Amino acid sequence: MKSLRYLALAAAFVLSFAVAASAAAPNCSKKINSFDFVVDYSGSMMMQNKQLKQDKVIVAKNVLQRINSAIPALDYNGGLHTITPNGVIIPQGPWDRAAMSAGIDKLKSGFQIFGRMTGMGTGLQKYEPFISSMQTPSAIILVTDGDNNRGVNVVDVARQLYANQRDLTIHIVSLADNAKGEAIIKELAALNPDTIVVRGEELATSDAAVERFVLAVFCKDEDVIVLRGVHFAFDSYALDSKAQGILDEAATLIKANPNKHVVLTGWTDYIGSDAYNMVLSQNRANAVKKYLEKQGIPASRMTAIGRGKSFKYDNHTEEGRYMNRRVEITFD
């Protein structure tokens, strides 16, 4: 049976850690020792993303800032490079959130589009000596639209990188907008079963997507489950049918681990008084506990705690407030 150390019930559960740039990550253990943001700086990346109405490199810039702000405050090594053309913005070294943010701000658009052929494979190939010096396990976070119309085949280069470098994973933030780019990214992803491919538009607009990506790249599995599907309407602790279905699956997993004590932690968004939200968060935790009791989980195995207002997600957005109205399950 797959370990509880990694659970993803219909993409509803993710490991819990603070997303805010200033927050620590008590529930995150390092999965990698070093990472590098590698940005495709080719002419096609200077073209507009149709969905977001921004140049693709500007979308890339926004996405990397969001990822950087969500990385747990641990002692990673990090860097920022460009390919096509190759360039060093931040060399590999101890990762500093503020310094990385300043480096990301240096990414620019407005360069020549036409006549700039894309040699992504050649650029990544030139990058190999640097990759070999990274502390392992290591991760490359490649932001690209997949275009490669000059020089060596980027898939062949990536295949050789994997052959030469141990404990390396190339993850891809995709801004592909044509069939050829999509095909190249798909081939790159197929080289490593641990590769994560995520759309840049999703990372640019969804805090949840950023958290899922950062968690998967940077954090080892923990004994924490966030009931992402168990959200609550404003000023409510009622469980809808979707929440009940997720809790049914949670009950199965809890039963499969009879020696673990379960802590249910309820949260609210920031609207309303602290006192009122403390009661509401407790009611949400109690609602989950009562439902799990009906599914056969002994009350003695569970502790329900209300923590009041949550600032894990952005309370200034509707999505962020919705995500803050949640319950988490922790296995002691």
**CB-based burial of residue 143 (10 Å sphere; 0-12 exposed, 13-18 middle, 19+ buried)?**
buried
- In the numeric block, which tokens belong to residue 98? 């503020």
Give me the mean pLDDT over the 259-276 stretch.
Answer: 90
Spatial distance between the Cα atoms of 11 and 13, rounded to a whole number of angstroms: 6
User: What is the residue-averaged pLDDT of the chain?
Assistant: 83
Bridge partners (DSSP) listed for residue 141: 37, 171
DSSP state, 9? G
> What is the predicted pLDDT for the residue at 222?
56
pLDDT digits (tens, 9 = 90+) for 94-149: 999 999 999 999 998 877 666 556 677 787 888 888 888 899 999 999 999 988 76
Of 13-22, 108-117, 238-247, the one with minimum mean pLDDT is 13-22
Give percent above pLDDT 70 in the chain.
86
> What is the predicted pLDDT for the residue at 7?
35
* Alpha carbon distances (Å) from 119 to 187, 244, 298: 17, 51, 60
pLDDT digits (tens, 9 = 90+) for 30-77: 899 999 999 998 888 889 899 999 999 999 999 999 999 888 888 999
User: Which amino acid is it at 109?
Assistant: S
Cβ atoms within 10 A of the Cβ of 323, count? Answer: 24
- Predicted TM-score (pTM) of the model is 0.65
Spatial distance between the Cα atoms of 285 and 266, rounded to a whole number of angstroms: 5
**CB-based burial of residue 271 (10 Å sphere; 0-12 exposed, 13-18 middle, 19+ buried)?**
middle
Bridge partners (DSSP) listed for residue 169: 139
> What is the predicted pLDDT for the residue at 241?
87
Give me the mean pLDDT over the 10-22 stretch.
Answer: 33
Is the pLDDT reported for residue 183 higher than 90? yes
Please tell me whether residue 83 adopts helix, strand or coil conformation.
strand
Is the pLDDT reported for residue 205 higher than 80? yes
> What is the predicted pLDDT for the residue at 232?
84
**Of 301, 288, 293, 315, residue with least CA distance to 226:** 288
Is the pLDDT reported for residue 271 higher than 70? yes
| Core vs surface per residue 185-204: b (16+ CB within 10 A) or e | bebbbeebeebbebbbbbbb
Please tell me whether residue 257 adopts helix, strand or coil conformation.
coil
Give percent above pLDDT 90 in the chain.
48
pLDDT digits (tens, 9 = 90+) for 4-15: 333 333 333 333
Is beta strand 326-331 parallel, antiparallel or unpaired with respect to 262-268?
antiparallel
Residue pointed to by tokens 């990058």: 127
